[in-house]
Structure 1
Amino acid sequence: RMGAGVADQLADGRVLSGVGGQYNFVAQGHALEGGRSILLLRSWREAGGEISSNIVWEYGHCTIPRHLRDIVVTEYGIADLRGKTDAAVIEALLNISDSRFQPGLIEQAQSAGKLPKDFRLDPRFADNTSERLQAIQARHPNLFPEYPLGCDFDEVERDLLRALNWLKSKFKLTEILELGKAALDAPQPWEFAGHLERMQLASPEGLKEELFQRLLLAGLKATAP
């Protein structure tokens, strides 16, 4: 809330981790001359098919208090919060929030008197969507390598990782029809023979493995570079 951070505990009291380094690195960024604290997070998350914002108006726990707010980075940009008023902090965080949640956050801030009733989000930040980021990535592939720090996966394994992640994203009620259609339109096994061999699905035995093969082929087709 207004620049505070949560990392070690849920609102209902369940503890996720120790608070040690999470708090101390932030405090150190303020204590050291010229130091800064940078918190990096995704602006939204998905669990059980439900999408929610990681930037919220209020929460029932606090790891990093608001007076230690500094720099926050999401996939949509950077918010420099140190020394700012509450209104300026809220606007900066809205600018790096996912656009699906911006209207609700604005309404909550206005209801609390932290933003004026005539507040309008800068149009530059009104299209903070995954689709826009994917379009930018597609236009500049050399600037956004899949593994910027390198990896030990070979080409087949990288293809499989993309396909399996795609399949995981489709296993929810709103996507099941699209997944079924993709499975029906799956390519022929010979087109991805090496991939099927790697997953031991080159010669499926029984209906279950045949279904797994078709789903994997659908995922490979959908995520092919």
Structure 2
Amino acid sequence: MSNAPAIRSGPRARSRAEVQRRAAIIANVLQTMGIRPADRVVTVMRNDIAFVEAHLGAQLAGALPVPCNWHWSGEDLRHLLADSAAKVVFVHTDLLGPVEAVLPPDARIIEVGVPPEVAEAYALGAARTAASGRHPLLETLIAETEPITEPAERQLIGMVGRGQGPRPRLPRRLQGPPSGRPRKGTPPRGLGQAPQTPPTRPLRGEHRPHHLRTNPCG
């Protein structure tokens, strides 16, 4: 595997192999903390290498990563944590206060140190970036844990419901008629009639989705 930098944050860079190794360790940390397939893991962090690693680690553990706007506080943050049924929350040190104020009783925090380039960009002094001592530190957990051996399978069937994310819906024009009734003006299909095949070209106003290249390690 190439050792070329796969992701950068200011002067820091990590290769694909390093990111994958750290993500595998985070997955083991999460499973040790009791994370099971389809559990929610929230990140309240700024853009950082650890943000990417936390998301990849949650996926390897079979969990569903839920990114949170780090500007949120109060009721907005309370609703996200409660509605997602968050089990673990990754939080940058200087953002601990708003999260701790609304943290659900059964959720746990992993504290993530603020990297120098982020502290400089947001003018965060040493007092705001010093470790709190109230929660386990991500770097300490990574140093003390081995990588996961096998990624967990994501069991999503039957997991859609309250507190577990929105139910995906098709565009209205692609949804079937209600209660199984044919659309107005559609003749009934008789016996022996071949079923209609879906169009091979996108409908007007629709676009074929392209492969999203959201993984910086790809």
**TM-score normalised by length of structure 1:** 0.23
Q: Higher relative contact order by CA 8 Å / sep ≥ 6: 1 or 2?
A: 2
- Tell me which protein shows more strand as a share of its residues: 2
**TM-score normalised by length of structure 2:** 0.23
- Tell me which protein shows more helix as a share of its residues: 1
